[in-house]
Amino acid sequence: IIDEKNLIIKMKTNISNGDLYILKNVLKTELVNQIKSYLSSVARNSLPNYYKIENGAPNFHRINMSDPRSYVKGCFHQFVFYPWNQDYFDLFNKFKNIFYLKNLISGIKKNKYINKIPEDGCTGRIAVQFYPKGKGYLNLHKDPIDYHQITVPSLTMSKKGEDYNNGGSYVKNAKGEIINLDNMLDIGDLVLFNAGTPHGVEKIDEGSHNSWLDFQGRWMMLFSVNKLHDNESISDSVDLYS
User: Given a cut of 80, is residue 2 above it in pLDDT?
Assistant: no
Asked if the model's pLDDT at residue 177 lies above 70, the reply is yes
pLDDT in tens, 185-218: 999 999 999 999 999 999 999 999 888 999 999 9
pLDDT in the model for residue 8: 94
213 near 57, Cβ under 8 Å? no
pLDDT in tens, 21-74: 999 999 999 999 999 999 999 999 999 999 999 999 999 999 999 999 899 999
Confidence label for 3 from pLDDT (cuts 50, 70 and 90): confident
Consecutive H or E run containing 235: none
* Other CB atoms within 10 Å distance of the CB of residue 21: 15
Mean pLDDT of the chain: 96
Residue (of 80, 218, 75, 96) closest to 157 by Cα position: 218
Q: Judge whether residue 236 has pLDDT over 80.
A: yes
Which conformational region is residue 69 in: left (phi greater than 0), alpha (psi within -120 to 50 degrees), or beta? Answer: alpha
pLDDT at site 1: 44
pLDDT, average across residues 131-143: 97
Confidence check: pLDDT of 242 > 90 = no
Q: Helices 4-16 and 96-105, interaxial angle, to 10°?
A: 70
Residue 94 pLDDT class (50, 70, 90 cuts)? very high
Burial of 46 (0-12, 13-18, 19+ CB in 10 A): exposed
Pairwise CA distance, residues 100 & 112, whole Å:
8
- Is residue 170 within 8 A of residue 199, CB to CB? The reply is yes
Is the predicted pLDDT of residue 129 greater than 50, yes or no? yes
Angle subtended at Cα 149 by Cα 171 and Cα 177, rounded to the nearest 5 degrees: 15
- Phi, psi at 214, each rounded to 5°: -75, -25
Res 5: pLDDT: 86
